[in-house]
Structure formats: C-alpha cells, structure tokens
Amino acid sequence: MNKITWGFGPHLTLDMWRCDKKKLTDLTHVYFLLDSLPEKIGMTKIAPPQVLSYPGKEGSFDRGGITGFVLISESHITIHTFENQAHAFVDIFSCKNFDVDYAVDILIKAFDAKNHKTTVSNRGHEFPKEVPFVREFVKQERNRVQNDKKEN
C-alpha cells in the first residue's frame, strides 16, 4: 500500500541579526548566495536571481538594504537585508523536503550573523500530493455533495 503524504512542504523563515553590514549591502554577495543556494540544498533554479538595492525611505524604519529572490521549481527563496539594523530575513518555501539545518548554517555563515531565530512550518496541511489519491478524494467529495443536495 502506498503511503499518503499530506502537506505541500516546509517553509523555513530565518531571522538573523548582528550581521556583517558590508555583506548586507553587497549586491554581488547576495546574488551569488541566491544563485548557489538552490543547488546546495537540492533544489532546481528556474530563473536567475533578482537582486535589488533599496535606499530606504525618510522617516521609516527601513533605511536601506537589499531584497532578492530566486525562483525554484519547488517554489522560492527570498532574502531581505537591513543594513542599519544589521538584520537579514530569509524565506525558503518548498514542495520538497530539504535539510533545514544545513540551509540555516549556510545562511548564518554567509552574513556572519551573531544571532538568529529559525521557524519551520509545514504548509498546505490539506494538500494531497499523490494524484491517484486526489482523484479518489475528489470523487468522494462530489458524491458527498450530491448526497447532501438530495437530502435537502
């Protein structure tokens, strides 16, 4: 019997602070990190990374940094840096399991973060991955709806 796997996949959010401010504002550094990370964690990059510098906004907490992302066939990876606050925020969302600890280690080293907080959640709890099971599930749902209509 096949094992039914539910859930779309893991979503890692990584908050890092007390980072190296030079690395937080280095477009090339962030680009190459996003360019190389998918392969290192077993993902498939489907487009080159997009990395932009943002100067910040007068009167805002956001006094500048970098925003970058890379699309992977499994979903996406994003990085947001804030130079003045020495923070970086990273999301890795994937329909495929990956070694979260290894990814976190790579990212902490990439920004020389002195502190970090890792959160991992499983997205799409009601998302069945196996197509044959989905067909049966949909068939059962349709029958249930039709029976409900007949009873009312």
**For 63-72, how does the pLDDT look when each residue is reduced to its tens digit (9 = 90+)?**
779 999 999 9
Name the pTM for this structure: 0.77
What pLDDT is recorded for position 65? 92
- What's the burial of 35, exposed, middle or buried (CB within 10 Å: 0-12/13-18/19+)? middle
Q: Identify the CATH assignment for 9-125 out of 3.40.50.300, 1.10.150.120, 3.30.428.10, 3.60.90.10.
A: 3.60.90.10
Q: Answer yes or no: 60 catalytic.
A: no
Count of other CB atoms within 10 angstroms of residue 22: 10
In this predicted model, what pLDDT tens digit does every residue of 30-56 receive, in sequence order?
999 999 999 999 999 999 999 999 876
- Catalytic residue among 80, 87, 121, 125, which? 80
Alpha-carbon span 20 to 33, nearest angstrom: 15
What pLDDT is recorded for position 129? 58
Name the percent of the chain lying above pLDDT 70. 83
- Catalytic residue among 75, 87, 94, 121, which? 75
- Catalytic residue among 11, 53, 76, 95, which? 95
Q: Answer yes or no: 80 catalytic.
A: yes
Q: Does residue 1 surpass a pLDDT of 50?
A: no
Contact 83, 25 (CB under 8 A): yes
